[in-house]
Structure 1
Amino acid sequence: MSSSAPGPELLGTRLRHLLDQLDGDVAAVYADRGLEWFRPRYAPVVRELAASGPSSIRDLARATGVTHSAASQTVAQMVKEGLVVLEPGADARSRIARPTPKAEALLPVLDAESAATTAAAAELEAELGYPLSRLVGEALDALARRPMRRRIADAMMDT
């Protein structure tokens, strides 16, 4: 890479690349343990269900910090993998996810991976000039105050 790093014009591309590297390496850890089929996005859901018991998709989304749509897609994939079953909720629109014995059997591996990933993330952040977790939090807060769509529209009006 050249000495002059790309600026904000490639922010989305570089963030996707960073996420791909992080997720790819966590997936490789699962593969090293014979869980090639297990996706990193499943872990927070399994751990939340183990901690809180059967939960609605909406509650899982809130607890894991993703959108309802993302949680719904993840749970649908987990149903196919035999990690959760879905049951009707209190109203016709809600569904309750319940972990299967297959998911519960993974908890020791997921707990060990989570602790190791937390330690590795702390080590990574120690090498950076600014903690990545703090920066991501600040970026999400700033976008909640004023979404990127609005920022782009305002910038287009200025040109």
Structure 2
Amino acid sequence: MADRAPGPELLGTRLRHLLELLDGDVAAVYADLGLPGFRPRYTPVLVALAGVGPTSIKTLAETTGVTHSAASQTVARMAKDGLVTLAPGADARQRIVHLTDRARELLPVLDAEYAATSAAARRFEAELPYPLSRLVDEALAALRRRSMRQRIADVAPDLVPPAERSP
């Protein structure tokens, strides 16, 4: 049994491990650049803000391909780290994210790192039999069509409350 590779039942665990490897090495590059503690998830937000200017968390979520909740959490952490500020939007529920002067000073270094990471990611994908980014896109689309919870209910209906099951 120990010789057998893990199957899909450990998919979440293995994906977290993959993400740890990817993010850990990118974070190490930030430390090499004199930015210890800088999180890889910050860069897409800063690049987006540099491109479009102050914008809503909703727009940042759409631009960076994450959920509103994930974007909101990232922006909150970035505000604590002095990289962005938040201001009320036209709607009381909306918050507009602005770069700080500190973030603007980091942009040349982050632009270079982002370009290098993008090139390295393309080379990494070229080593794979199937582009990981394409596979992730397809997996996300499949889960939008039918959630993992619904899929579990399909094979084990007693594990999911009837009200949560889909037809």
Superposed pair shares fold, TM > 0.5: yes
1:89 deviates by 0.7
> Does residue 16 in structure 1 map to residue 16 in structure 2?
yes
Q: Distance in 2 between matches of 1:99 and 1:72?
A: 15
Q: 2:77 matched to which residue of 1?
A: 77
1:141 deviates by 1.0
Q: Please, which runs of 5 or more residues in structure 2 have no aligned partner?
A: 160-167
SS at match of 1:106: helix
Q: 2:163 matched to which residue of 1?
A: none
1:3 deviates by 5.1
Q: 1:95 matched to which residue of 2?
A: 95
Q: 2:47 matched to which residue of 1?
A: 47
Q: 2:63 matched to which residue of 1?
A: 63
1:81 deviates by 1.0
Deviations 1:53-82 (A, max 9, x none): 001111111111111111111111111111
1:140 deviates by 0.8
1:158 deviates by 9.2
Q: Distance in 2 between matches of 1:139 and 1:58?
A: 22
Q: Distance in 2 between matches of 1:68 and 1:125?
A: 27
1:157 deviates by 3.1
Q: 2:142 matched to which residue of 1?
A: 142
Deviations 1:80-127 (A, max 9, x none): 111111111111111111001111111111111111111111111121
Superposed structure 1 runs of 4+ greater than 6 Å apart:
none
Percent identical pairs in the alignment equals 70
> Does residue 111 in structure 1 map to residue 101 in structure 2?
no
Q: 2:5 matched to which residue of 1?
A: 5
1:146 deviates by 0.9
Aligned pair count reads 158
Q: Distance in 1 between matches of 2:3 and 2:112?
A: 38
Q: Distance in 1 between matches of 2:133 and 2:60?
A: 21
Let me know the Cα RMSD of the aligned residues: 1.5
Q: Distance in 2 between matches of 1:101 and 1:89?
A: 21
Choose between structure 1 and 2 for higher RCO, CA contacts under 8 A separated by at least 6 residues: 1
Q: Please, which runs of 5 or more residues in structure 1 have no aligned partner?
A: none
